[in-house]
Amino acid sequence: MDNIAIDISEDELVAEITELRELLRTKEAKLTHLRREKQIAQEYGLNNDEICRYSRQLFLKEVGVKGQKKIKDSSVLIVGAGGLGCPAALYLTCAGIGCIGIVDYDDIEINNLHRQLLYTESSIGTAKVIAAAESLNRLNSYVKVIPYKIQLDSKNALDVIKNYDIVIDATDNVATRYLLNDACVLSGKPLVSGSALRFEGSLSVFNYNGPCYRCIFPEPPPPETVTSCGEGGIFGAVVGTIGVLQALETLKIILNMSDVTSGRLLLFDGTETKFHNVRLRPKNINCAVCGEHRIIHELIDYEKFCGAKANDKDPNLNLLKKEERISVEEYNKIIKTESKSRIMIDVRSSEEYRICHLQDSINIPFAQLSKDHNLKLIKDNIKKMQKEHHSVDLYLMCRRGNDSQKAVQYLKKIFIEDTLKIRDIIGGIHAWSNKIDQKFPKY
C-alpha cells in the first residue's frame, strides 16, 4: 500500500511540475511581450493597441513607427465644422493626431446633414463643435478633441492658434480667410486652405515654404461678387473631396513629405472628375503681412477690410430706398385685396423655382434677367396688363431678398421713363415662410 501511495504522489508531482513549467513559459512570453511593448512605448510613444490600430499606415515607408509618433505628437486646429471641416476631422482623427481643436459658432440644421458627416438627425439643434467632439471621441479615444464654440476674430484668434502646429481653414467667407492667413503668418503656422462651391473645389497650403494668401490676393473681392454655398449650392461629395485632401496635406506637412501643395492651387472639377494644378506667384516681397517691409504687425478689423461679415450666413443687403421695398405682410394684403394689376417676377434659379414658388409668379433667373428675350417677356406682360388696368406694379422676389434688390436696380435703369412702380419683397421666400405660410418650404 505504501508503494502504491508513493507512485501516485510521484505522478501527481510530475504533473504539477509540467503544469508549472507551462505556466512559467506563458509568464516568460508575457514578460517578453510586455518588455517589448514598454520598449516601443518608451522609444516611440505607442502602445500595442495603437500599433494595431494604425498598422496599415505603419507599413508605409513614409510613415512607419517614427512617423506615427510625429502624428501623435502633433496638434491641428480646424476652423469650421461644416462640409470641409467634418471630413478633415474624421480622417485626422482616424490617422491618430494627438490633439484636434475645432472652432465653430453655429448649431446643426437639417440642411447640414447631406454633407457634414459628423452629425445625425438627432444632432439637429446641437452646437456643431460639441456634436463633432462627441463623434470623434467615439471614433478614436486616443485623440484629444477640444471644441471652441466661438467665432474667431481679431481679439481671440492668436490666443487660440498659438496652441496648435497647423491650421485648417474650413470656412466659407472671405473675411475669415484673411484673418486666418494673417494670424498664421504672425504665429508662424502653416495654413491649409480649402473651398468648394457647386461642383467645384480648390485647395492650397499657405505660409509653408511659399506665399501666404495675401501674397496671391492682396485685396479682397467686392462683396457682391462672392457667392457662398448657402446661395450658390454645394454638392456634398465635392466638398467632402476637398476636406479629405485638406487632411492629406496636413499629414504630409507633419511627416515632412515633399510635394506639399504650397505655391500651387489644386482645382477640382466634380462634373468631369478632373484635377488641375495651377502654379501660383512666388512669395511677394512687398506683401503687407509677410513681406520684407510688412505693414501689418497685428490683426485688423477684417469685416471692415473685406466689407462683409466674417461668417457664412447669407448677407442681408440694403441697396434700395425704403419706398422701393415692401414686406411680405404688405404683399400678402395686396394679393388678397387688389385686382391682378401686378406682375411678380421670381429671380431665383429655375431649380429653386421648381422647389417652391408663389402662385401667378413668373420665373426669370437673375443671371438671365438682361437677356433680350426675358426683357421682351417683361415688357409684353406690362403692356398686356396696362391694357386691362390703369396702373401696373412690378414686384421682385428671391430667396432672401438680396438678388431681388439687384434686379430692381437693373430694371429701373431699363424702365427709366416708365411710371411703373418696381419694388422688391423684403426677405424673399424665407420671410414668406416665416411670417405668412409656415408650411411653405424654406431651404
Of 143, 168, 205, the C-alpha closest to 88 is: 168
Contacting residues for 107 by C-beta, under 8 A, at least 6 apart: 125, 126, 127, 128
pLDDT score for 248: 98
pLDDT band at 233 (very low <50, low <70, confident <90, very high): confident
How far apart, in whole angstroms, are the C-alpha atoms of residue 443 and residue 128?
Answer: 19
Backbone angles phi, psi at 26, to 5 degrees: -65, -45
How far apart, in whole angstroms, are the C-alpha atoms of residue 406 and residue 293?
Answer: 41
How far apart, in whole angstroms, are the C-alpha atoms of residue 28 and residue 17?
Answer: 16
pTM of the predicted protein model = 0.76
pLDDT score for 4: 47
pLDDT tens for each residue of 143-164: 999 999 999 999 999 999 999 9
pLDDT score for 418: 67
pLDDT(39) > 90: no
How far apart, in whole angstroms, are the C-alpha atoms of residue 320 and residue 341?
Answer: 23
Q: For the chain, what percent of residues have pLDDT higher than 70? A: 95
Domain boundaries, the chain: 73-304, 320-434
Average pLDDT, stretch 297-309?
88
Q: Which of 15-19, 35-39, 398-402 has the lowest mean pLDDT?
A: 35-39
pLDDT(176) > 60: yes
How far apart, in whole angstroms, are the C-alpha atoms of residue 41 and residue 103?
Answer: 32
Q: Output the DSSP codes for 305-351.
A: HHTS-SSSSPP----S-GGGEE-HHHHHHHHHHS-S-EEEEE-S-HH
The three three-digit cell numbers of residue 153, written as one number: 476674430
pLDDT(81) > 90: yes
- CA within 13 Å, CB half, 55: 6
CA angle 369, 372, 377 (to 5 degrees): 75
- The secondary structure of 50-107, three-state, reads HHHHCHHHHCCCCCHHHHHHHHHHCEEEEECCCCCHHHHHHHHHHHCCCEEEEECCCE
Q: How many helices (H) and strands (E) does the chain have?
A: 17, 13
Q: Are 75 and 145 contacting, i.e. CB atoms less than 8 angstroms apart?
A: no
Average pLDDT, stretch 317-330?
93
CATH class of 320-434: alpha beta
Q: What fold characterizes domain 73-304?
A: Rossmann fold (3.40.50)
Q: Which of 41-45, 132-136, 293-297, 386-390 has the lowest mean pLDDT?
A: 41-45
pLDDT band at 42 (very low <50, low <70, confident <90, very high): low
294 three-state secondary structure: coil
Mean pLDDT of the chain: 91
Q: Rounded to whole angstroms, what are the CA distances from 222 to 45, 174, 217?
A: 50, 10, 12
47 three-state secondary structure: coil
pLDDT tens for each residue of 178-229: 999 999 999 999 999 999 999 999 999 999 999 999 999 999 988 777 777 7
pLDDT(6) > 60: no
Percent helix, percent strand, percent coil in the chain, to nearest 5: 45, 15, 40
Strand pairing category for 274-279 and 342-346: unpaired
Task: Choose, from 86, 184, 212, 229, the residue flagged as catalytic.
Answer: 229
- Assess whether 398 carries a catalytic annotation: yes
pLDDT(401) > 60: yes
Unique residue bearing C-alpha cell 430692381: 408
pLDDT score for 417: 66
- Assess whether 52 carries a catalytic annotation: no
